[in-house]
Amino acid sequence: MSDSQTPRVALVTGGSGGIGKATCERLATAGMAVAVHYAGNRSRAEAIVSAIVESGGRAIAVGGDVADEADMVAAFDAVEAEFGGVDVVVNTAGIMLLGPLATFSLDDLDRMHRINIRGTFVVSQQAVRRVRPGGAIINFSTSVSKLQFPGYSAYAGSKGAVNAMTLIMAREMRGRDVTVNAVAPGPTATDLFLDGKNDDEVGALAKVSPLERLGTPEDIAETVAFLAGPGRWVNGQIVYVNGGAI
């Protein structure tokens, strides 16, 4: 663990998105220097960086395609050049395309798997090579693999691959003092989740949890912060964060 002279450093892919933004802000609040990754929305990432810096934190924006090895090598290089190393990598970057398996577009399947599977793999490959002892790698899965909502087969399939990678990565990191876990949110009020859903559908999904509400990005970020910081004895797990929906 780092002291005040050597603060921990986190790279959050998809940091300009809903859960990614909340995660960046929460890790900055915990005292970490944060690299806010973006794929296309540079201005939003830079706004998050500005807010963190104005609050007394340290942050930079880094861009790139998570599925492109050269882009991710450059992103990790930029973080190490700015902050001296990487302690925490959070893979929030991902897309969700929905539809029944029988009619699902194979082009959409390939697009989603490129980002959700290959992207997680490429970023994780850099992470396992670079994260310092005492660090954490946190991937993103989904609770829908257990909730089994119709229309989610392609998305859940991509996250099933993330689950498998996560569990094996944890064991491949033996002796490195680096934890590897995945966070599996349930229905969460993000633009990604709400896109294309009407009020009735959103209301029904809010009732899935016995808490009778959707999760918030901040709910998910709290779990990420625990795994990135004090949760050192949680390793090789898929952590379902869904308000008791399953």
3-class SS at 237? coil
**Mean pLDDT computed over 115-134:** 98
Coil/strand/helix, residue 173: coil
The beta strands (E) that lie in 74-165 are given as: 86-91, 131-140
Catalytic residue among 38, 152, 155, 240: 155
- Whether residue 130 contacts residue 86, with contact meaning beta carbons closer than 8 Å, is answered with yes
State residue 208 phi and psi, 5-degree precision.
-60, -40
Segment 38-64 shows an average pLDDT of: 97
**What is the CATH number assigned to the segment(s) 9-240?**
3.40.50.720
Burial of 230 (0-12, 13-18, 19+ CB in 10 A): exposed
Confidence band (pLDDT; 50, 70, 90) for 6? low
> In the chain, where are the structural domains located?
9-240
Residue 91 to residue 31: CA distance in whole angstroms: 19
CA-CA distance, 49 to 12, in Å (whole number)? 12
Side chain identity, residue 182: A
Inter-residue contact 188 to 217 (CB < 8 Å): yes
Q: Examine the residue annotation and report whether 152 is marked as an active-site residue of this protein.
A: no
| pLDDT at residue 5 is higher than 60 | no
pLDDT at 201: 86
Specify the pLDDT at position 98.
93
Spell out the residues 6+ positions from residue 74 whose beta carbon is closer than 8 angstroms to its own. Answer: 64
Tokens found for residue 156: 């859940």
Mean pLDDT on 223-232 = 97
| 3 pLDDT tier (thresholds 50, 70, 90) | very low
79 — pLDDT class (breaks 50, 70, 90): very high
Residues 140-146 have a mean pLDDT of 94
Please give the structure tokens belonging to residue 103. Answer: 């009619």
* Contacting residues for 3 by C-beta, under 8 A, at least 6 apart: none
CA 140 to chain centre: 5
Q: Give residue-wise pLDDT tens across range 97-113.
A: 999 999 999 999 999 99
Q: Quickly list H helices, 3-152.
A: 18-29, 42-54, 69-83, 106-113, 120-130, 144-147
- Note the pLDDT of residue 4: 43
Kindly indicate the confidence band of residue 193, based on its pLDDT and cuts at 50, 70 and 90.
confident
Q: What are phi and psi of 211, to 5 degrees?
A: -80, -10
Query: Residue 192's pLDDT band (boundaries 50, 70, 90)?
Result: confident
Scanning the structure block, which residue is given the tokens 């104005």?
54
Instruction: Give the pLDDT confidence score for residue 1 in this predicted structure.
Output: 39
* Region 132-161 average pLDDT: 96
